[in-house]
């Protein structure tokens, strides 16, 4: 019995599984935090400086902490704004992922205590719980991150880690659904004794309900609204079981995604509902399935003609740059060939015979490596076709002066 | 780190986390009524009242309207001019963020804010608008002045 319990505990929390899902989740958490907090910085005088109108969440923070934060001079507030921008961006790109997560979370707490009027919502509290769990480990920086490039581990996408953080995040998501449903039908909840959807449909235009196609029809069909309400509660109560059951998981994830899209389309709820919660659903996908999917794609690509990067094999900076491309080449679509020392620029040869050099090779690589997708709008921005080659040529001319990641120094980097 | 030690630390963290998580999730509406007393709460981390999204929606609706008064004439101020911060993807005014200003004690901080934002006006009226019965009497609308902001 004890061994069985140990095994179950191991499977639930301690077993090592690939952390790529968590790395992907990090990006969504960062986007959610940014989209929620950054708009409040556009009117610092209204929101956080001494001229602001402030409200405080004394249930969440001890009064002494709020009093302490309120003593902040305006200069300190501005300092925290910049600290937030820097740490948030580092967290987004996974640069010292854990430290940036901790510092960004500290900034979030600071602004929440300073004034909860704009950012304080129930979904924000949920986001803080998620952030706290993300602060515990650095696993979310394993892939889709600058940290992965710094380490130069080309197998970073399959890096195994104890599963407990992802499991706790799963439990948080499932429990949020369950308790949200439970509170609706017990205690002060009125989804059985009343008809909340019907009331929402009859709210005046100043209310939380958005205008959508069926609103007016639903506003005169109370029975439909009541049945819909019961179905919502039933779904919320059973969602956790569907999510944890492998047979119903896929349907539950799709339902959860549709659920939150519907919520955002019909009600004025914080965007956290659209960015964080659907990403939380994706955490239920078994990491091994993601790895199997990636490996299948890599296998297909390994048996097909691949693109070739030819680079200066004598230059440490070039080797470490190519190593970085290798880390980012998730689908295994590129071969790497060390060329002669006197190469003026790297060269990319595609299987269809097309050849690109220098900046234009880099621009084409951005379409091949998923981690470079965010750079596509930048490298194709009007004017980048003129500026990019100039920058590239300058870097290429000075490539022997640039620092080299440790793993590629002194010719130790095996590609 | 030694794997056994790492696993022990993880297990301890998971047990403590789960205990606090479910305690905090059920405290206000289940545990406190059960024990018939106020229970200790953990600050800084969990939603104070639990996961109560949209748990109770009544057939009444109230919101705040703020009027600026100039030469004795009241003029409705666009709430988006009061709360200028635009949230991405939703409208904080429709989410009724401004209702907070009608809470007791809010006039001390809200009145100076209004005077700074709208120096044109002589004084302000903060009112609470209510539709007491949306279903039975959808057109019935009451409006009361919660407080005035004078010089």
Q: Which pLDDT band, with edges at 50, 70 and 90, does A317 fall under?
A: confident
Whole-number percent of chain A with pLDDT over 90: 81
Indicate whether B69 pLDDT > 70. Answer: yes
Number of structural domains in chain A: 3
A383-388 mean pLDDT: 92
Q: Which pLDDT band, with edges at 50, 70 and 90, does A412 fall under?
A: low
Q: Find the closest chain A residue to B50 by CA distance.
A: A179
Task: Report pLDDT digits (tens) over A100-154.
Answer: 999 999 999 999 999 999 898 888 999 999 999 999 999 999 999 999 999 988 9
Alpha-carbon distance A179 to nearest alpha carbon in chain B (angstroms): 6
Task: Report pLDDT digits (tens) over A95-107.
Answer: 999 999 999 999 9
Contacts of B43 in chain A (CB under 8 A): 60-62, 65
**Burial (0-12, 13-18, 19+ Cβ within 10 Å), A42:** exposed
pTM of the model: 0.92
**Burial (0-12, 13-18, 19+ Cβ within 10 Å), B139:** exposed
pLDDT at A407: 55
A11 inside domain: no
Indicate whether A409 pLDDT > 60. Answer: no
Let me know whether A291 and A311 are in one domain.
Answer: no
Query: Final residue of a domain: which of A255, A272, A303?
Result: A303
Are the beta carbons of A13 and B58 separated by less than 8 Å? no
Rounded-to-integer distance, Cα B108 and Cα B105, Å? 6
**Burial (0-12, 13-18, 19+ Cβ within 10 Å), A415:** middle
Are the beta carbons of B87 and A136 separated by less than 8 Å? no
Q: How far is CA A164 from CA A12, A193, A195, B56, B139, in A?
A: 7, 39, 40, 34, 54
Let me know whether A339 and A209 are in one domain.
Answer: no
Q: Find the closest chain A residue to B90 by CA distance.
A: A268
Cβ-nearest to A180 among B13, B51, B59: B51
Nearest to A69 by CA among A12, A111, A16, A33: A111
Let me know whether A29 and A130 are in one domain.
Answer: yes
pLDDT at B25: 92
Contacts of B51 in chain A (CB under 8 A): 122, 126, 175-176, 179-180, 183
Angle (CA) A220 A221 A226, round 5°: 130
Interface test with B, best of A32, A185, A206 (most B CBs within 10 A): A206
Let me know whether A137 and A172 are in one domain.
Answer: no
Alpha-carbon distance B75 to nearest alpha carbon in chain A (angstroms): 18
Cβ-nearest to A14 among B10, B116, B135: B10
A10 inside domain: no
Q: Which pLDDT band, with edges at 50, 70 and 90, does A2 fall under?
A: confident
Q: How far is CA A87 from CA A41, A122, A276, B137, in A?
A: 15, 24, 19, 52
Task: Report pLDDT digits (tens) over A239-264.
Answer: 999 999 999 999 999 999 999 999 99
Specify whether the CB–CB gap between B135 and B58 falls below 8 A: no
**Burial (0-12, 13-18, 19+ Cβ within 10 Å), B64:** buried
A407 lies in which domain range?
Answer: 305-411
Specify whether the CB–CB gap between A15 and A39 falls below 8 A: no
Let me know whether A42 and A104 are in one domain.
Answer: yes
A15 inside domain: no
Which ranges of A157-286 would DSSP assign to H, the alpha helix?
164-185, 196-201, 215-218, 222-244, 249-266, 272-282
Task: Report pLDDT digits (tens) over A24-74.
Answer: 999 999 999 999 999 999 999 999 999 999 999 999 999 999 999 999 999
A50: helix, strand or coil: coil
B1-14 mean pLDDT: 93
Are the beta carbons of A129 and B53 separated by less than 8 Å? no
A209 inside domain: yes
- Chain A touched by B35 (CB under 8 Å): no
- Partners of B63 in the β-ladder: B129
A7 inside domain: no
Rounded-to-integer distance, Cα A137 and Cα A134, Å? 6
Q: Which pLDDT band, with edges at 50, 70 and 90, does A414 fall under?
A: low
Query: Final residue of a domain: which of A303, A322, A349?
Result: A303
Let me know whether A149 and A237 are in one domain.
Answer: no
pLDDT at A170: 96
Alpha-carbon distance A109 to nearest alpha carbon in chain B (angstroms): 8
Specify whether the CB–CB gap between B130 and B58 falls below 8 A: no
ipTM: 0.93
Alpha-carbon distance A389 to nearest alpha carbon in chain B (angstroms): 36
Type and span of the H or E element at A286: none
Task: Report pLDDT digits (tens) over B35-60.
Answer: 999 999 999 988 888 888 889 999 99
CB pairs under 8 A between A and B: 176
Interface test with A, best of B52, B113, B132 (most A CBs within 10 A): B52
Q: Which pLDDT band, with edges at 50, 70 and 90, does B116 fall under?
A: very high
Q: At what angle do helices A272-282 and A122-136 cross, to 10 degrees?
A: 40
Q: Which pLDDT band, with edges at 50, 70 and 90, does B100 fall under?
A: very high
Indicate whether A220 pLDDT > 90. Answer: yes
pLDDT at A277: 87
Are the beta carbons of A202 and B135 separated by less than 8 Å? yes
Specify whether the CB–CB gap between B30 and A187 falls below 8 A: yes
Nearest to A305 by CA among A359, A338, A343, A354: A354
Least reliable range by pLDDT among A74-78, A225-229, B93-97: B93-97
pLDDT at B1: 75
Instruction: Select, from the ranges A81-90, A303-312, B23-32, the one with the highest average predicted confidence (pLDDT).
Output: A81-90
B115-130 mean pLDDT: 95
Let me know whether A288 and A317 are in one domain.
Answer: no
Interface test with B, best of A182, A235, A261 (most B CBs within 10 A): A182
A12 inside domain: no
A339 inside domain: yes
Q: What is the DSSP letter of A141?
A: G
Query: Final residue of a domain: which of A158, A193, A214?
Result: A158
Q: At what angle do helices A74-93 and A20-37 cross, to 10 degrees?
A: 150
Nearest to B66 by CA among B12, B8, B145, B125: B125
Alpha-carbon distance B31 to nearest alpha carbon in chain A (angstroms): 11
Q: Which tokens is A304 given?
A: 């097909």
Task: Report pLDDT digits (tens) over A333-378.
Answer: 999 999 887 788 899 999 999 999 999 999 999 999 999 999 999 9
A367 inside domain: yes
B69: helix, strand or coil: strand
Residue B145 has phi, psi (to 5 degrees) of: -80, 120
């Amino acid at each position: 019995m004890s061994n069985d319990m140990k095994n179950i505990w191991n499977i639930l929390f301690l077993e090592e599984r690939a952390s790529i899902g968590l790395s992907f989740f990090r990006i969504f958490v960062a986007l959610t935090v940014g989209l929620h907090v950054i708009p409040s910085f556009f009117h610092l005088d209204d929101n956080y400086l001494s001229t602001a109108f402030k409200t405080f969440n004394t249930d969440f923070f001890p009064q002494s902490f709020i009093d302490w934060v309120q003593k902040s001079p305006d200069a300190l507030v501005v300092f925290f704004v910049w600290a937030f921008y820097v740490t948030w961006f580092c967290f987004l790109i996974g640069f010292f992922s854990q430290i940036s997560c901790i510092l960004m979370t500290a900034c979030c707490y600071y602004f929440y205590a300073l004034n909860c009027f704009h950012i304080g919502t129930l979904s924000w509290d949920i986001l803080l719980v998620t952030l706290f769990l993300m602060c515990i480990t650095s696993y979310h920086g394993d892939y889709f991150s600058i940290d992965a490039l710094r380490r130069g581990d080309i197998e970073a996408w399959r890096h195994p880690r104890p599963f407990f953080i992802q499991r706790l995040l799963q439990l948080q998501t499932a429990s949020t659904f369950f308790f949200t449903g439970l509170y609706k039908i017990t205690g002060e909840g009125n989804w059985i004794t009343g008809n909340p959807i019907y009331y929402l449909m009859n709210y005046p235009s100043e209310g939380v309900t958005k205008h959508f196609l069926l609103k007016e029809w639903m506003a005169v069909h109370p029975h439909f609204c009541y049945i819909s309400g019961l179905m919502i509660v039933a779904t919320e109560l059973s969602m956790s079981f569907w999510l944890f059951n492998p047979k119903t998981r896929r349907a539950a994830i799709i339902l959860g995604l549709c659920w939150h899209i519907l919520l955002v389309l019909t009600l004025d709820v914080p965007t956290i509902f659209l960015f964080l919660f659907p990403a939380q659903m994706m955490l239920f996908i078994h990491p091994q399935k993601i790895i199997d999917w990636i490996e299948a794609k890599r296998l297909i690509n390994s048996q097909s003609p691949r693109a070739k990067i030819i680079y200066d094999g004598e230059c440490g900076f070039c080797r470490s740059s190519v190593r970085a491309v290798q880390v980012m080449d998730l689908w295994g679509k590129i071969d790497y060939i060390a060329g002669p020392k006197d190469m003026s620029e790297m060269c990319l040869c595609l299987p269809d015979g097309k050849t690109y050099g220098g900046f234009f090779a880099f621009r084409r690589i951005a379409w091949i490596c998923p981690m470079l997708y965010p750079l596509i709008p930048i490298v194709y921005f009007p004017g980048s076709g003129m500026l990019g080659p100039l920058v590239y040529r300058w870097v290429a001319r000075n490539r022997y002066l640039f620092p080299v990641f440790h793993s590629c120094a002194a010719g130790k980097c095996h590609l | 780190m030694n794997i056994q030690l790492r696993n022990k630390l993880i297990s301890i963290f998971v047990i403590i986390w789960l205990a606090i998580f479910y305690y905090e999730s059920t405290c206000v509406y289940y545990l406190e009524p059960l024990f018939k007393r106020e229970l200790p709460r953990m600050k800084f981390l969990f939603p104070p009242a639990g996961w109560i999204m949209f748990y109770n929606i009544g057939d009444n609706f109230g919101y705040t309207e703020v009027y600026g008064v100039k030469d004795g004439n009241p003029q409705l101020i666009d709430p988006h001019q009061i709360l200028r911060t635009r949230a991405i993807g939703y409208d904080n005014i429709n989410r009724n963020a401004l209702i907070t200003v009608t809470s007791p004690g809010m006039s001390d901080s809200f009145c100076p804010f209004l005077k700074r934002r709208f120096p044109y006006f002589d004084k302000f009226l903060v009112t609470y608008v209510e539709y007491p019965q949306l279903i039975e009497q959808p057109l019935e609308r009451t409006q009361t002045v919660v407080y005035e902001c004078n010089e």
